[in-house]
Chains A and B, each alone.
Chain A
Amino acid sequence: MTGSVRHRLADALRHVGGTVGAGVPLTHAAPPVTAPFAGASYVEEQRISAIDVGGPAPPPPTVAFLDGIQRYAVEGRIGLVPVVRGYVAAALLVRDAGGLRPADVAAEEFLVVSLARLGPAERQAITEVGPPVVDCSASERAHPILDVQLAARVVERRRERVETELAARHLRASPRGWLVVDGSISDLGALLDDGPRVLGLIKSHETQFLDGIDLETALTLPEGCRTSVFARSAGRRAAVYTWYLRLWPWEEQELFHGLVRVERPAVSEAVGDATGVSRWLLGERAPLAAADARWDRLLYPVQQVETFLRAQAGGWW
């Protein structure tokens, strides 16, 4: 009977112009979205429209891909204060003639602890372990879970810093070269002034910059189409131009299947390049990043950066 309900529901959805999804069974509520909405402004057009980019095209001859990883472990506690060991690494692989080669790698191991909650002897004991100790400011009132989350944020910031360092080195060496970053580029700040060809690829869509018909247009893009370019709100971050691009058809799948958001520094050539960039990103669908559950949004070279970093980290534990 379940099957027949699903079929009847699918027919009903089609009848009213809806789209049938994958219908994957879930058991728990999704984690809360920390920043569900942000502002945006039109750049390319005075509305968000779907633009067919005209199919895949070859990429630029040389492209660099940047990504990072982070790991942490609660090694123990002094009282209730968690002592966290962290590891972050970033790598930049350059693609030349189809082959990927590591061009720059950085990694560091460190300890994260709330020094304010430790006595002098405890601080000295932690410091003498060897790795650098990073202070994690915590609220006065102890919370075993929140304290670890705070430490994890420290680890995350260290990872972003390592990635930024690598991006900076690369842009200094190749200011006109294409650099594809896994995730948003808005944290790169002033670096973007020197790197107009930096590209951010965002696979998760927690924050919605658009609203209404614009949002519906963006999230229901057909395969091979992009939205017109818009500017996301900057706040304290660097101003970036962005657009959505559908790599794989989402019908019979989830809404975000195959949907990526592309970020570029807010320069005029970003608008002119949007279709061309979208075309070579479509060409990046092969090879498939098949070993990853996010294969529909993850580019194979970016997956290879992660694989490289995980292999470098080895059995870090």
Chain B
Amino acid sequence: MTSSNGAIVGRVVATESLPAGPHEFHFWTALETPIGIGAIVRVTAGAARAVYAVVVDGRAYSDLPSALHDVVASQGDPAGGRGPTHRTEVRLWRAAVLRHEPEEPIQPVPLADVMLATQRDVEAALRMDAYIGGELPRGVPVGVYRAGGLTAAVALDADFLLGPESAHLNISGVSGLATKTSAVEFLLASIFQRLPQRQGSVAAVCFNVKGPDLDFLDQPGDLTDADRELYRVLGIEPRPFNRVRYFAPFKPDGVNLNTLRSHPDLAGSVQPLVWGLREVLGYHEVLLNRDDLDAKADGFLDFLADRVLDKDFRDEWGGTHRVQSFADLERLFRAIFDGLEQAGRADVWRTHHIATIRKVRNRLLNISTRCKGLVTDDGSVSDLPFGAFEDRAVYVIDVAGMDQVAQDLVFTRIVTMLREHLERRDLGVDHLVVFVDELNKYAPGDGPDTYVRKMLLDISERGRYLGLVLFAAQQFRSQVHRRVVGNAGTVLFGRMDMDELATPGYQVLSPATKIKLATLPKGELMVRHPHFTQPVFVRFPRPPVLSGPEGVKRFPPAVDVPFEDAVVRQLAALDRRIAATQVRDAIAGRRDDDVRRALLATRRARPEDPLGYFRAALGPAVARERLAPTAPSAAPLRPVDDPYAP
């Protein structure tokens, strides 16, 4: 607390047409007053009763009966007739009750003095006294409340933010002004630093879906003195995250990472995200559209997943297949087609029609093309450390450069894996926050019922029991599926668009609150939380990390380089002592796929001697056998009598 208050600033008024109720009342103040929309006040009636409320609307009027009287007094001249006496004015405020003390019986607000809230009043009004003090505090600071010279920390209840009582957080606001990403970054820092150890371990998986937004969470950002003061009030150290793991797929060339965090000083900290057939096949629903997935195709895909994948599969023609990659799968399909053709039965194989098999083959093999860089033909895998997640670590998945289908695949598989591990309690942490931006794209309120949307619905409705917490952001809350946003226990609003505020979901807000939301400055939020019976406005400091745009300025992304140079750069990022010539010598004459596989293995293992590991992963060089040219077996074409021949 930087100052206290508690001075009388107004008085409750009630008339027959404007009565004071248990949930709402009116009070007047002097013309010069610290009261404003969002201010928290206390009404005290004797020592035994207090009512806390937040100001939601304000009116001013004078004793002028009609505008015409002002015209008469001014004799029709707007510039004249001001008069030597100011008209009597009133500032009349409407306040929504936050809490009664005692809670029962609920009665109309007494017609008594109104005071600006003190620090203790803010805690009582927002019911924070139940979870920020005592023997087992569990408050997570979300920002500071400011009014009338008072700066008071506002905290969320960890049980209602991360579960199990309630969970999930949703944040809305216009792009660029609502500071949605900054708010989530700050809140993650707050959770990591202030969540008591007895509440369990916690980590975060953040999907970076646009630009470099989340690419520099491990780098300190520029903070002002005002920001540092806010951090001091909130009891949080303004420092960047010290455990951040970055994951990004390759670009289609298979060696340059598809991320804006590619500056040579940082590239070594980005781990490739590469999946093979095994990782993808379980999520074919994401990749194949509805038209592809009829019952027959679905049945054949299930057959492949259950009977073929990762098993020794014997075909009817004496071949044995162990399908672990798209290349293995292609060999199986080729064997089936050839076998059927040789056997003269061209229509059915193991109850599956050849047309269905061809259709599934085409769709599946197309995946490695559509998701090139993420999905490999050869089965190489570089994945998140499922089962070994670390406490207070952030895992950033950079999918900003990927197309929509690949983004959906990444999102679906990672969240599914997280959920499965949390169900088995073997993820490595007790709570996991999943941050998804652009939620209206992944869980729209209308449109087809996609696999991604179904999964988000599942998380929002059942995730809190598992410790899987969804932090989601979007520009237009009204365009997101109602059940996804409705299940968010905590809701934040940054600056909002007036058109959005005109939608039915905001009818509960007063016009003044809507105006405040539409003009909210950066760094301010309106917070709804299960303990707060009315929305509360708070200010939060800039996150203690480098913002995306600043990060790109400070660490300009490296330009894509040819294959050999890219290999050199990636190995050098692991060990600066590695010379380019050493790498070039090692990969001279090797196939690109072999080099990619060795490089991926090296990056995944992060060995003490990266170059040695890389060479070992490449294996001994096998000299290519150069075949001697042989004479053509076909006879040369016989000259024809062609008058137009050259």
* A complexed with B: yes
> Could you tell me the distance between the alpha carbons of A307 and B63 in the complex, rounded to whole angstroms?
10
Contacts of A290 in B (CB 8 A): 63-66, 69, 72-73
Task: For the complex of A and B, list the 4 residue pairs with the smallest distance between their C-beta atoms, beginning with the closest.
Answer: A286-B83, A290-B69, A286-B73, A288-B73
Q: Indicate if B576 sits at the interface (CB-CB under 8 A).
A: no
Q: Indicate if A301 sits at the interface (CB-CB under 8 A).
A: yes
> Could you tell me the distance between the alpha carbons of A288 and B88 in the complex, rounded to whole angstroms?
12
Residue pairs across A and B with Cβ atoms less than 8 A apart, 12 shown, are: A95-B85, A98-B85, A100-B88, A286-B73, A286-B74, A286-B81, A286-B83, A287-B73, A288-B73, A290-B69, A300-B83, A300-B87
Q: Indicate if A283 sits at the interface (CB-CB under 8 A).
A: yes
Find the A residue at minimum CB distance from B66: A290
Q: Indicate if B84 sits at the interface (CB-CB under 8 A).
A: yes
Across the interface, do B73 and A304 meet the contact criterion of CB distance under 8 Å?
no
Across the interface, do A284 and B69 meet the contact criterion of CB distance under 8 Å?
no
Q: Indicate if B383 sits at the interface (CB-CB under 8 A).
A: no
Chain B: minimal CB distance from A310 (Å) = 12
Contacts of A95 in B (CB 8 A): 84-85
Across the interface, do A284 and B83 meet the contact criterion of CB distance under 8 Å?
yes
Contacts of B626 in A (CB 8 A): none
Interface residues of A (CB under 8 A from B): 58-59, 95, 98-100, 280, 283-288, 290-291, 300-301, 304, 307
With a 10 A CB-CB cut-off, give which of B66, B72, B83, B85 has the most chain A CB atoms. B85
Find the B residue at minimum CB distance from A65: B85
Across the interface, do A304 and B88 meet the contact criterion of CB distance under 8 Å?
yes
Contact of B84 among A284, A291, A304, A307 (CB under 8 A): A284
Across the interface, do B84 and A99 meet the contact criterion of CB distance under 8 Å?
no
Contacts of B81 in A (CB 8 A): 285-286
Contacts of B73 in A (CB 8 A): 285-288, 290
Chain B: minimal CB distance from A256 (Å) = 18
With a 10 A CB-CB cut-off, give which of A58, A59, A99, A286 has the most chain B CB atoms. A286
**Apart from A286-B73, A287-B73, A300-B83, what are 20 other A-B pairs with CB-CB below 8 Å?**
A95-B85, A98-B84, A98-B85, A280-B84, A283-B84, A284-B83, A284-B85, A287-B64, A287-B70, A287-B87, A288-B72, A288-B73, A290-B64, A290-B66, A290-B72, A291-B63, A291-B65, A301-B85, A304-B85, A307-B63
> Could you tell me the distance between the alpha carbons of A284 and B81 in the complex, rounded to whole angstroms?
9
Contacts of B83 in A (CB 8 A): 283-287, 300
Contacts of B66 in A (CB 8 A): 290
> Could you tell me the distance between the alpha carbons of A179 and B63 in the complex, rounded to whole angstroms?
24
Across the interface, do A98 and B86 meet the contact criterion of CB distance under 8 Å?
yes
| Contact indicator per residue, chain B 56-92, by CB within 8 Å of chain A (1) or not (0) | 0000000111100110111000000111111110000
Chain A: minimal CB distance from B502 (Å) = 37
Chain B: minimal CB distance from A257 (Å) = 13
| Contact indicator per residue, chain B 80-110, by CB within 8 Å of chain A (1) or not (0) | 0111111110000000000000000000000
Contacts of A58 in B (CB 8 A): 84
Contacts of A307 in B (CB 8 A): 63, 88
With a 10 A CB-CB cut-off, give which of A95, A285, A307 has the most chain B CB atoms. A285
Chain B: minimal CB distance from A253 (Å) = 13
Contacts of A100 in B (CB 8 A): 85-86, 88
> Could you tell me the distance between the alpha carbons of A98 and B81 in the complex, rounded to whole angstroms?
13
| Contact indicator per residue, chain B 166-208, by CB within 8 Å of chain A (1) or not (0) | 0000000000000000000000000000000000000000000
> Could you tell me the distance between the alpha carbons of A301 and B614 in the complex, rounded to whole angstroms?
93
